[in-house]
Chain A
């Protein structure tokens, strides 16, 4: 056993922490969240120069051969500071499934450009009134003259409005086994028939409705094998759940840090409010929530890095963090009192993200159901 980060990981964490604190002050975060595009191209380039988009990809695709655990450490810092950008979509939802399932030609074409920060990619999975299971994929792609034609609506597609490509999970055949017959297509976001509308979300985190209105996609753009797309999606969701959990743990840590320094400075009844036992016990509960959740996230990330199946660990981590981050921000607000309820303050950014985070890639109840299944129930 070894529960410490390696020296390289500590360095990555510190570099990321300092860079984000300097480059993404909360004024800018708020501005970006309210902007249409949602990110700064200039900072996107700087992040690429730091090698962040290349971190998790092998050297042969111009990556730097980091592990999934390394990526999780970076994401924790992104959650800590808040870093509005299409990083998560591009690397986790786009890059990782391509690395896992695409053919050599596609990888050579796409991964180096992802690693250099030249491409923005996302994943279109969720459909209206449907969940995150194989049976939920109902949008169809029909073969026609050596191409496929996709028709249907996808929802909550992150960063689709700025994406170059959209990985789209669709049904290409009706099999009795619903996990079969799903195919993942690489769709150019500017293809005729793709209509993208930004949804107004709680966290302003740039989720879109994407309507595929008879969008023609060449069969060469299938990622993986036709009809066998579900395992790609399943594993991507597993990694996305852990990656999102890492961001959320980082966010929770930011909340407790902010609240701690406030409670030491804010004086009421002639003493700092942090000296009141009722407040201290809130802090203990927050901190215990955070460190316990972080342990589960690291364990799941470690398991994925080792190449093992991490269905159970991933679901446990996401369920735990989904609950814990929300509890932490609510207590954080309680400690900040009225000032935290203002737009000017930073607390609400985290409070919004804690809920958005829980909702993404399967909320606490969804993940608990996964855990139950993994436990053999």
Chain B
């Protein structure tokens, strides 16, 4: 066993860290508010930061850091550990980079895309020139994705898409939809859908904002009204959409914003070392010490899952069950940390960004308290993860 990075990985990590520190504006920390494992406050999904995010994302692309995990033949570094290093450092600094294109679309195209699709899309994705939003969920197809209703009907060398997608995180600031639509309504659930790429600018697409509980426009409901999609935009085989969605799950699982866990712990430690309450520093209160130690230990656990998952992917030993545990545990830990932060901050915790007296990077904890709710819901709820782990991982009977 060896829990350490290689020397090369250490050098790489330092290079990424130095680059990001140099690049980001000095007031970035208090302008943005990313909370670990949350969906509501990703800077790159907010209109306010869209131009800057797009520029930053391309810079990272030029460095080759959007595609570290891809095979070398497609311009990658063949290292998911390096990919995980990049994401850890980026999320520590809340850097606006990455997304559906690099984590899901790219790897899926590599696995099942045609040669011409690979040639057309992979360089654009790796360079940060094509960004995507995820067109899976619908108003009546959430955890039960199999019951989706959006239809794509073959018409000559096109598909005509009609239906409604929801959540659509970042649909308003990205270029393309990574769409899952029903192509064979007569087939059993999982043989009935197809993945395809749809340009957001296609006539018939109507993107309407959904404001999340933080008041941020991150989600959208998106209507497709006779939207024409060229056949060459189909990803993988027709009617194999569900299987192709599952393929990308392993890559998607690593997206947790790991560095933000480390960051929130550091900020809390800094806060209790500097803040007096009832005439003593918070850090000398045994209860505060116990609470911080408790989350520090759980953060160590989530990191252990993170590096193991990345390492296992590089070894071709990816375990879906362990990755599900990682997702389940990390998102629930995010909630626990938010609650612990609020408990430690006391009355001041409720002060929101911009308020007089707002503590901890100008009201970060109150943002986290709201945002953390999203983690255990998005990308497969905690309940769905628990089902997967019990049935597929532990071999428990379905009925």
- Which A positions have Cβ atoms within 8 angstroms of B? 1-6, 69, 260, 263-264, 271-272, 274-275, 277, 279-281, 283-285, 287-288, 291-293, 295-296, 298-299, 302-303, 316, 319-320, 365, 367-372, 375-377
Contact = CB atoms under 8 A, between A and B. Distances in A.
Given A3-B308, A299-B304, A288 B328 contact: yes
Contacts of B399: 271, 275
Nearest to B6: A1
Interface string B273-293: 100000000010010111011
B347 interface: no
Contacts of A280: 386-387, 390-391, 394, 396
B311 A291 contact: no
Contacts of B308: 3, 295
A377 B1 contact: no
Given A1-B4, A3-B1, A280-B390, A368 B397 contact: no
A325 to B, nearest CB: 14
B325 interface: yes
Contact of B1 (A69, A288, A365): A69
B269 interface: yes
Given A3-B311, A292-B325, A302-B2, 6 more contacts: A1-B2, A271-B399, A280-B391, A283-B390, A293-B301, A375-B292
B18 to A, nearest CB: 22
B289 A320 contact: no
Nearest to B321: A287
9 contacts: A1-B2, A2-B2, A283-B394, A288-B329, A302-B3, A319-B294, A320-B301, A369-B293, A377-B288
B81 to A, nearest CB: 6
A281 B390 contact: yes
Interface string B346-388: 0000000000000000000000000000000000000101110
Given A1-B311, A320-B301, A372 B289 contact: yes
B121 interface: no
B329 A375 contact: no
A283 B389 CA distance: 9
A376 B273 contact: yes
A143 to B, nearest CB: 39
A291 B302 CA distance: 11
Interface in B294-341: 294, 296-298, 300-301, 304-305, 307-308, 311-312, 322, 325, 328-329
Nearest to B385: A284
Contacts of B2: 1-2, 302
A300 to B, nearest CB: 10
A274 B296 contact: no
B89 interface: no
Chain B residues touching A, range: 35 or more
The 3 A-B residue pairs whose C-beta atoms are closest, nearest first, are: A280-B390, A295-B304, A368-B293
Given A284-B386, A320-B301, A368-B289, A2 B394 contact: no
B5 interface: yes
A282 to B, nearest CB: 9
B90 to A, nearest CB: 20
Given A280-B396, A284-B390, A319-B297, A292 B305 contact: yes
B335 to A, nearest CB: 15
Given A283-B396, A302-B2, A296 B389 contact: no
Contacts of B398: 275
Given A263-B396, A295-B304, A377-B269, A369 B286 contact: yes
B180 interface: no
B395 to A, nearest CB: 8
A111 B213 CA distance: 65
Contact of B304 (A264, A271, A279, A292): A292
A377 B289 contact: yes
A296 B304 contact: yes
B311 A376 contact: no
A372 B289 CA distance: 6
Given A302-B2, A376-B273, A3 B312 contact: yes
Contacts of A260: 394-396
A5 B1 contact: yes
Contacts of A4: 1
Most buried by B among A287, A367, A377: A377
B393 interface: yes
Contacts of B387: 277, 280-281
Contacts of A299: 3, 300, 304
A284 B289 contact: no
Contact of B294 (A6, A69, A288, A368): A368
